[in-house]
Amino acid sequence: METPLKPNRRLRILVVDDEADIRNLIKLYLKDWADTDLAQDGKTALEKFALYMKTSVKFDLVLLDVMMPDMNGRLVLEKIRALETARGIERADGVKIIMLTALDDTANVLQTFKHGCDSYMVKPFDDEDLFREIKELGLA
């Protein structure tokens, strides 16, 4: 599979999904031009995000599943934005976040945008869909 994306540098992307098959498929999609970290739940995602915030290497993008056990993606989204705010990071300078979900009703879409996501993708999606969204966010 050849990617149409041409980022200026190798991107750092956090993929958060409770389904291992989805995490691994997305990692395969991104392998040629991005370094991916994987998290199977919201707690692990927040730990990784907070750890990277303390380094000079930041995430460029978070791909975040909405429906996960224990801590859903909307709560993780809120907490990521709160971590950025606490560090004085303006919303426009924050990490780009694409929500991934099977939920495509208007209420769910609006809620995630209200809490700070940058894009919303309905599962199932393929590599072309993902590349198009990443391009639209200006990352490639």
Please tell me the CATH code under which domain 11-133 is placed.
3.40.50.2300
| pLDDT 10s digits, 86-108 | 999 998 899 999 999 888 788 87
Q: Can you list the pairs that 1-5 forms with residues at least 24 positions away whose Cβ atoms lie under 8 Å?
A: 1/28, 1/29, 1/127, 3/29, 3/32, 3/33, 3/127, 3/131, 4/128, 4/131, 4/135, 5/33, 5/131, 5/134, 5/135, 5/140
| pLDDT 10s digits, 44-89 | 999 999 999 998 889 999 999 999 988 999 999 999 999 999 999 9
